[in-house]
Structure 1
């Protein structure tokens, strides 16, 4: 059984950096886990991730290491690390505009290692059920669109088409990741609710 650590592990951070450097087009979270598993990494279970709590902990450890790596790359001004479940990619360094500070709640969450030790199975089930439905603000919608690799200009029909493509590609029956599928479903639900609100508002005018 995989041991879950409550502190950043340098070996995992270095493994992730090497994997991403070898894949300039980026990797999905599923691809990263599969490559770590193929390399017999002790940080991911060798068995299928069917248990929700084990899946959560594997995901959390991975994203904790990714956000630490991103911070280090930014500090060195050497690269930018794009972090999404469907695409994790090393990119050219982006110099921030003077005085521009953007809050990143996901970074804060994944760098809080206590979340790993205190989150229960009930917590995981609640998170999976409610995460996207709570994302009704502008930042949440942008996150949902980013997960689908779309921008604000995308029509609702384009959103639905892209969603169906990604669900087909990431379905567990085809070797995909359950967590990714649940994230796609949640993102689509948030975007569907926004579409319904927009239609209702248009009809009321």
Structure 2
């Protein structure tokens, strides 16, 4: 029987088949839709508009993807590159970093207590935290632009940022003909960058 049509096949096996059918990679949402079309019994067949349903569906798919990654890597059959925007089955390459690096996301998704212990309030907090980080990323970009470090070829660290901060303060200080508003923007940008680099 064809694995991708067999509802009793393990979710990791079904995902393996779908990834083989999409050599250029596929997004998480498309994977979920294809699983639903194939009447996969391992994921909830409920609208993804409910936050808890969305979380549980996402968790089950990512748990299976990480299990598949470990199995294929262990058997030297391939490597599953995992991100929400593009999940791709890659050939096995001996000697590559592969699974040797510590991956906190792997630990999270392979811990089934995360699925059973997460309620609607937890999901709401996860979403708020995600959007704060996204917004923070915008703040960081804006601060780096203000410091003219957004296109820097140097490795950014707190020492380099503080050096640039001192240059800008000296240049834009009101006692030296600069504006108070500009100095306040520089100080705010420094506060933001300290959160990321200190």
Q: Are 1:191 and 2:137 counterparts?
A: yes
Question: Rg bigger for which structure?
Answer: 2
Aligned residue number for residue 78 of structure 2: 79
Q: C-alpha root-mean-square deviation of aligned residues, in Å?
A: 2.3
- Rounded to whole Å, the distance in 2 between the matches of 1:194 and 1:94 is 36
Aligned residue number for residue 18 of structure 1: 17
SS in 1 for 2:63: helix
- Rounded to whole Å, the distance in 1 between the matches of 2:53 and 2:120 is 9
How many residues get paired? 143
Aligned residue number for residue 95 of structure 1: 94
SS in 1 for 2:19: helix
* Distance apart, 1:131 and its partner CA: 3.3
The residue correspondences of 1:65-144 to structure 2 (distance < 5 A) are 65-96=64-95, 101-131=100-130, 133=132
* Distance apart, 1:123 and its partner CA: 0.6
Aligned residue number for residue 168 of structure 1: none
SS in 1 for 2:89: strand
Greater relative CO (CA pairs within 8 A, separation 6+): 1
Summarize the Cα distance change of 1:118–1:77 in structure 2 as closer, same or farther, 3 Å threshold: same
* Distance apart, 1:195 and its partner CA: 1.0
* Distance apart, 1:196 and its partner CA: 2.6
Q: Are 1:59 and 2:58 counterparts?
A: yes
Q: Which runs of 4 or more aligned residues in structure 1 lie more than 6 Å from their structure 2 counterparts after TM superposition?
A: none
- Rounded to whole Å, the distance in 2 between the matches of 1:72 and 1:44 is 21
Summarize the Cα distance change of 1:193–1:18 in structure 2 as closer, same or farther, 3 Å threshold: same
Residues 145-171 of structure 1, C-alpha deviation per residue, up to 9 Å, x if partnerless?
xxxxxxxxxxxxxxxxxxxxxxxxxxx
TM-score by length of 2: 0.65
SS in 2 for 1:90: strand
TM-score by length of 1: 0.63
* Distance apart, 1:132 and its partner CA: 6.1
- Rounded to whole Å, the distance in 2 between the matches of 1:118 and 1:28 is 26
Contact 2:19 2:89 in 1 (8 A): yes
Q: Mind listing any 5+ residue stretches in structure 1 that lack a counterpart?
A: 1-8, 135-185
